[in-house]
Structure 1
Amino acid sequence: MRVIAGDFKGRPLKSVPTHQTRPTTDKVKEAVFHGIGPFFEGGRALDLFAGSGGLGIEALSRGVESCVFVDQQHKAISTIHENIELLKLKDRTEVFRTDAKRAMKAAGKRGLTFDYIFLDPPYKKFSYAELMEALIEHGLLADGATVVCEHDASEEIPEAVGHLERQKTDSYGSNIGVSIFK
């Protein structure tokens, strides 16, 4: 696993040492960022179900100003901290060990908004509609925000949730789908 492009291009990232996470492949990561960027001039990202932090770190490498990482697994949080230290990104990041719903509620209470939100939960265990409804309910979407959902390719993804509309869905291999909402 590595950073694909930007300031940290080619730098290796540590993976979570457990079978409970599924890292986003380089091919999918590259496609995601070409679909939403590929480079940015600032902005704030939220990497929910962050695992190793690969999506948020890729966003930071490509110009996003700051990122909040959330995961509830201890090993994932440790790996995110290691990757942040490795790339010297501590001053541009926050890391929280909690579940996604609590994290969204806490971020809303702090008045945080995000330009780029990455949702990559365990496949078929969360409702993307409910996750996006919570983003809206807690006021976490900046004007023009982009929400990237990585999901099982067979999973039904809504056309719209509130004011978020699906822009496109692509499949990678037989089981990975990525849907982008704005």
Structure 2
Amino acid sequence: MATRPTTDKVKEALFNIIGPYFDGGTSLDLFAGSGGLSIEAVSRGMANAVLIDRQYQAVKTIKKNIAVTKHPEQFTVYKMDAHKALGILAKKGCRFQLVFLDPPYAKQQIVKDMAAMAERELLADGAIVVAETDQAAQLPTSDWEQFNFIKQQTYGITVLTIYRYQKEL
């Protein structure tokens, strides 16, 4: 009950925007909830997915959902705070080609989270970053720092904002 799964309509629209299929790579879902976005990404060709959530029940749900996939070994789940996870993943030398940021609406720090990922070198050059927020978030709709704005689309109260990370300016 504490999670807010991405609706099928929004999920379908999202993957139509970022590409219906992937050719390998690793995704990061920093506020994974039910794990639906990462499971969908792996089913469309991402090689691996790392899912982070701090809530016990969410992690339990994620693991249950992953168990019914064809390849549960493609998923790594961590029960921890998202910001602590960024430090741990950086120490492990992780690089992500696709990132989902769907924090609780009351705790949106998307710009700060993206800057932290860039600073810790967690993003591969050309990585796609997808932010799912409510309309109050007011994310940048132009290029900023190393992030190129791709598109923003509203679906009811949900807003998808998509960026591409460019390592070298």
Instruction: Give the TM-score taking structure 2 as reference length.
Output: 0.93
Kindly indicate whether residue 149 of structure 2 is the aligned counterpart of residue 169 of structure 1: no
Equivalent residues in 2 for 1:116-135 (5 A)?
Answer: 116-135=98-117
Partner Cα separation in structure 2 for residue 67 and residue 141 of structure 1: 14
Aligned match of 2:18 = 36
Q: Note if contact 1:124-1:152 (Cα within 8 Å) is conserved in structure 2.
A: no
Structure 1: 5+ residue stretches without partners: 1-17
Partner Cα separation in structure 2 for residue 127 and residue 60 of structure 1: 26
Per-residue displacement from partner, 1:4-61 (whole Å, max 9, x unpaired)? xxxxxxxxxxxxxx2x211100000001111111111111100111001000000001
Helix, strand or coil for the counterpart of 2:124?
strand
| Paired amino acid for 1:110 | K
Aligned match of 1:89 = 71
What is the RMSD computed on CA atoms of the aligned residues?
Answer: 1.1
Partner Cα separation in structure 2 for residue 133 and residue 161 of structure 1: 10
Kindly indicate whether residue 92 of structure 2 is the aligned counterpart of residue 110 of structure 1: yes
Kindly indicate whether residue 40 of structure 2 is the aligned counterpart of residue 58 of structure 1: yes
Aligned match of 1:141 = 123
2:54 to 68, 72, 88: 72
Aligned match of 2:167 = none
Q: Note if contact 1:124-1:155 (Cα within 8 Å) is conserved in structure 2.
A: no
Q: Note if contact 1:65-1:92 (Cα within 8 Å) is conserved in structure 2.
A: yes
Per-residue displacement from partner, 1:95-149 (whole Å, max 9, x unpaired)? 0000111111111110000000000001141221101011101111011100000
Q: Note if contact 2:31-2:82 (Cα within 8 Å) is conserved in structure 1.
A: yes
Instruction: Give the TM-score taking structure 1 as reference length.
Output: 0.86
Q: Note if contact 1:170-1:178 (Cα within 8 Å) is conserved in structure 2.
A: yes
Over 3 Å counting, the alpha-carbon distance change for 1:161 and 1:134 in structure 2 is farther
**What is the aligned-residue identity percentage?**
46
Q: Note if contact 1:132-1:161 (Cα within 8 Å) is conserved in structure 2.
A: no
| Paired amino acid for 2:98 | Y
Aligned match of 1:5 = none
Q: Note if contact 2:108-2:137 (Cα within 8 Å) is conserved in structure 1.
A: no
1:161, distance to aligned residue in structure 2 (A)? 4.3
Q: Note if contact 1:129-1:161 (Cα within 8 Å) is conserved in structure 2.
A: no
Aligned match of 1:9 = none
Aligned match of 2:6 = 24
